[in-house]
Chain A
Amino acid sequence: GDSVTQMEGPVTLSEEAFLTINCTYTATGYPSLFWYVQYPGEGLQLLLKATKADDKGSNKGFEATYRKETTSFHLEKGSVQVSDSAVYFCALRVQGGSEKLVFGKGTKLTVNP
């Protein structure tokens, strides 16, 4: 079945540090890939997405590249801020079936000043 494996957390960084959160997937079809973010006390928001191989999604300084050969979609940011503290979820959706998302377990990021 479809699944997403995400780097275990929690991750604690200092402000301006480099962030990588690893995400790999298995899918029966050709998935679209997403990163969602959940800030404390809030619902999920889409951070970025990529729909085909070699696409790079980017938003708010975050980037992730759809790597079909390694079935990966790692999230990166060159310089994190305290305001980036949140839980990050990698997710996939396989086209042609239902529109449901399959999520990774989430990675909690804390950025200290």
Chain B
Amino acid sequence: SAVISQKPSRDICQRGTSLTIQCQVDSQVTMMFWYRQQPGQSLTLIATANQGSEATYESGFVIDKFPISRPNLTFSTLTVSNMSPEDSSIYLCSVGGGRGRNTEAFFGQGTRLTVV
């Protein structure tokens, strides 16, 4: 299993500003994932963060808006840049249990972001 600490747990931000969310894992993992959960919606993958390489972004998400750092195997950050009210969501960090079929993903508690 993996224990994921994510912070801040919530924040209220002014439009036009940026917020950096931190994700710390209690073990070394190859891949870390950042998801967004808009109000009343499901989780949508933003990007996959691999240590030592550029993050891989899903369709509709770009690095300029959501820059990601992955300095080592236990830590990652996601920045939400130049925020607008449409960015109000819960952002979740996740790690997978490995490539086997019988593995599960683990999630942080999430960061609840409100942009005003």
Interface residues of A (CB under 8 A from B): 32, 34, 36, 42-46, 49, 51-52, 89, 93, 95, 98-101, 103-106
- Listed by A's residue number, 13 A-B pairs whose Cβ atoms lie within 8 Å are A32-B103, A34-B104, A43-B108, A43-B109, A43-B110, A46-B106, A51-B101, A89-B43, A95-B99, A99-B98, A99-B99, A100-B48, A103-B43
Binding site for A on B (CB under 8 A): 6, 31, 33, 41-45, 48, 56, 92, 94, 96, 98-99, 101-110
**With A and B bound together, what is the CA distance between A105 and B42 in angstroms?**
4
In the complex, A34→B43 CA distance in Å?
14
Residue of A nearest to B102 (CB): A51
Distance in angstroms between the alpha carbons of A42 and B56 in the assembled complex: 27
By the criterion CB–CB under 8 Å, are A101 and B42 in contact? Answer: no
- Chain A residue numbers with a CB within 8 Å of B33 are 99-101
